[in-house]
């Protein structure tokens, strides 16, 4: 058995893991990263990046369909067609470029990459099963970054026509009918894209409304757009399983059972942290529910064993994992770092997009904080009008005593691109006066942020 020593071993090469390894290498730590799958993890290979490529393709096709009929822009073109296999080849090319780029960055940082499945022997020793046999790695510090995986329903196990998000992002033909089980952001992102590509889409949501993690004001424009697109949304509905012939999905709504035609069924009812296969039982780490318990330096209950990303709890977001990865690398290198981020932006790439960070009005009220809330609607935005999509708004939540920005929520076309500005304002402790006094370029959607702050101060100009 080959044996290797290093200062830092990172298990998992997703966004959190590879960023941690790169930063550690930059800081001069002798680092090894291990993963049985491709570099980039779920996000680059079968999650964030492929789904956004599919969403872009869906938007482009939908726009082409719009131009083949009457439209306010006066543009006329012929009916479009799509070769989804070619679209997937294009998507795979993007994935390859990004994963190859990660490999180059790791090499530049002098990080050693071992392909294989890792399992703890003890807190400082890991055996990696590679194509060439088992390699034993001893490390002074270990970071667990094993990520998460889709939740599988017992009555709808993955296989055949029942898909996880992984398979849904690799189809080579647009299904005639697609049923999405779960009205969260993953299902709605993919389902909306396939509707725009021509599939008949039905969403089956157990709860009372879609996107329950966001408040109703944010989700209403999304519900309205789904209705206009012809997506049927069934709430208070439970997917019971396939019919005997396997051709339809049985859905319970109250006391009634409805059969829904389904060429493909996409199950997106959440994700679970990957806890099996890497030796959790050997370490006996403390848990926080189904996640690993960590402190404000991402340390687990075992000395010099850290954890980052989806295995450490909500929110399961790539950018949270990246920030944790940088923090851990700097802590191991001797830095005096602690996790003290005031806000982590959550972006939902539905139509229209949603951004949320910090406290919502209801959350502030629940904490007993007196706040002022103001909203600027895109129906009053010149830029939104010229883009042909004025649905949505920007909303700002400020502490009444001093105007400190406690939360920002927005829904609108391409609103994800404002998430950095929102996050920067909150991280720097901006007040409504700070935002209002900042010159925002005209005409842009960003002006809506300034206008919302002006309304907090009672000085709204354009509404």
Residue (of 226, 214, 224) closest to 409 by Cα position? 214
- In this prediction, residue 1 has a pLDDT band, given cuts at 50, 70 and 90, of confident
Peptide bond preceding 443: is omega within 30 degrees of 0, i.e. cis? Answer: yes
Instruction: Give the three-class secondary structure for 379.
Output: helix
Residue 341 has pLDDT above 90, yes or no: no
Residue 3's pLDDT band, with cuts at 50, 70 and 90, is very high
Give the model confidence (pLDDT) of 280-295 as tens digits. Answer: 988 999 999 999 999 9
Cis peptide before 22 (omega within 30 of 0): no
* Residue 71: predicted pLDDT: 86
Do residues 356 and 336 make contact, with C-beta atoms less than 8 angstroms apart?
A: no
| Predicted pLDDT at 30 | 98
**Contact yes or no for 305/283 (Cβ under 8 A):** yes
Provide Rg for the chain, Cα atoms: 24
Of the chain, the percentage scoring pLDDT greater than 70 comes to: 100
For residues 117 and 105, is the Cβ–Cβ distance under 8 A? no
Q: Return mean pLDDT, the chain.
A: 96
Do residues 328 and 338 touch, judged by C-beta distance below 8 A? no
Residue 342 in this model has a pLDDT that exceeds 80? no
Residue 324 three-state SS: helix
Q: What is the pLDDT of residues 102-146, one digit of tens each?
A: 999 999 999 999 999 999 999 999 999 999 999 999 999 999 999
Whether the per-residue pLDDT at 208 is higher than 90: the answer is: yes
Rounded to 10°, the helix 84-108/15-26 angle is 30
- Closest CA relative to residue 57, chosen from 177, 199, 185, 211: 199
Q: What is the pTM of this model?
A: 0.95
State the pLDDT at residue 282.
86
Is there a contact between 19 and 29 (Cβ–Cβ < 8 Å)? no
Supply 115's token pair.
Answer: 């392909």
Q: Would you call 341 a catalytic residue per the annotation?
A: no
pLDDT in tens, 251-261: 999 999 999 99
Per-residue pLDDT band at 61 (split at 50, 70, 90)? very high
Write out pLDDT tens, residues 12-24.
999 999 999 999 9
pLDDT tens sequence across 150-194: 999 999 999 999 999 999 999 999 999 999 999 999 999 999 999
Per-residue pLDDT at 43: 96
According to the model, what pLDDT value does residue 172 have? 96
Task: Please give the average per-residue pLDDT across 39-47, as a whole number.
Answer: 96
Answer whether 323's CB lies under 8 Å from 400's CB: no
Residues 294-300: what's their mean pLDDT?
97
pLDDT value at residue 362: 96
Q: With bands split at pLDDT 50, 70 and 90, how would you rate the model's confidence at 373?
A: very high
236 pLDDT higher than 90:
yes
Mind listing the pLDDT tens digit for each residue in 423-458? 999 999 999 999 999 999 999 999 999 999 999 999
Task: Using the CB atoms, write b or e for 184-204: b if 16+ within 10 Å.
Answer: bbbbbbbbbbbbbbbbbbbbb
Residue 55's pLDDT band (cuts 50, 70, 90): very high
Strand pairing of 148-150 and 133-144? unpaired
The average pLDDT across 306-331 equals 97
* pLDDT of 398 higher than 90: yes
- State mean pLDDT over 402-419: 97
Residue among 141, 440, 442, 462 flagged as catalytic: 442
Quote the pLDDT of residue 455. 97
Residue 305: how many CB atoms within 10 A of its CB?
A: 21
């Amino acid at each position: 058995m080959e044996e290797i020593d290093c200062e830092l071993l990172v298990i998992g090469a997703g966004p959190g893991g590879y960023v941690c390894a790169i930063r550690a290498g930059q800081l001069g730590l002798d680092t090894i990263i291990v993963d049985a799958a491709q570099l980039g993890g779920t996000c680059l290979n079968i999650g964030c990046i492929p789904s956004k490529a599919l969403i872009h393709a869906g938007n482009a096709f939908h726009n082409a369909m719009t131009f083949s009929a009457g439209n306010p822009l006066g543009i006329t073109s012929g009916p479009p067609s799509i070769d989804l296999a070619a679209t997937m080849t294009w998507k795979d090319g993007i994935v390859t470029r990004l994963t190859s780029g990660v490999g180059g960055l790791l090499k530049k940082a002098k990080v050693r990459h071992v392909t294989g499945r890792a399992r703890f022997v003890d807190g400082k020793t890991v055996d990696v099963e590679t194509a060439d046999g088992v390699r034993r790695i001893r490390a002074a510090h270990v970071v667990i970054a094993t990520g998460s995986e889709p939740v599988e329903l017992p009555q709808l196990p993955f296989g055949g026509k029942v898909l996880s998000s992984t398979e849904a992002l690799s189809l080579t033909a647009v299904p005639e009918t697609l049923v999405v089980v779960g009205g969260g952001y993953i299902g709605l992102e993919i389902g909306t894209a396939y509707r725009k590509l021509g599939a008949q889409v039905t969403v089956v949501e157990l709860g009372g409304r879609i996107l329950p993690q966001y408040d109703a004001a944010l989700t209403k424009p999304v519900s309205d757009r789904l209705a206009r697109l012809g997506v049927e949304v069934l709430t208070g509905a439970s997917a019971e399983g396939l019919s005997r012939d396997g051709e339809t999905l049985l859905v319970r709504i109250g006391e009634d059972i409805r059969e829904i035609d389904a060429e493909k069924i996409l199950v997106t009812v959440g994700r679970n942290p990957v806890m099996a296969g890497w030796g959790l039982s050997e370490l006996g780490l403390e848990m926080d529910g189904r996640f690993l318990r960590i402190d404000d330096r991402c340390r687990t209950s075992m000395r010099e064993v850290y954890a980052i990303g989806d295995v450490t709890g909500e929110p399961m977001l790539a950018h949270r994992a990246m920030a944790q990865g940088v923090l851990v690398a700097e802590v191991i290198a001797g830095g005096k770092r602690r996790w003290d981020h005031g806000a982590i932006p959550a972006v939902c790439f539905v139509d229209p997009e949603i951004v949320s960070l910090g406290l919502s009005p209801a959350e502030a009220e629940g904490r007993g904080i007196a706040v002022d809330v103001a909203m600027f609607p895109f129906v009053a935005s010149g830029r939104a009008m010229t883009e042909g999509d004025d649905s949505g708004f920007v909303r700002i939540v400020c502490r009444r005593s001093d105007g400190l920005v406690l939360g920002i929520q927005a829904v609108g076309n391409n609103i994800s691109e404002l998430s950095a500005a929102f996050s920067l304002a909150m991280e720097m402790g901006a007040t409504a006066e700070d935002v209002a006094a900042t010159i925002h370029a005209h005409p842009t959607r960003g002006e809506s942020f300034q206008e919302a702050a002006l309304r907090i101060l009672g000085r709204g100009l354009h509404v």
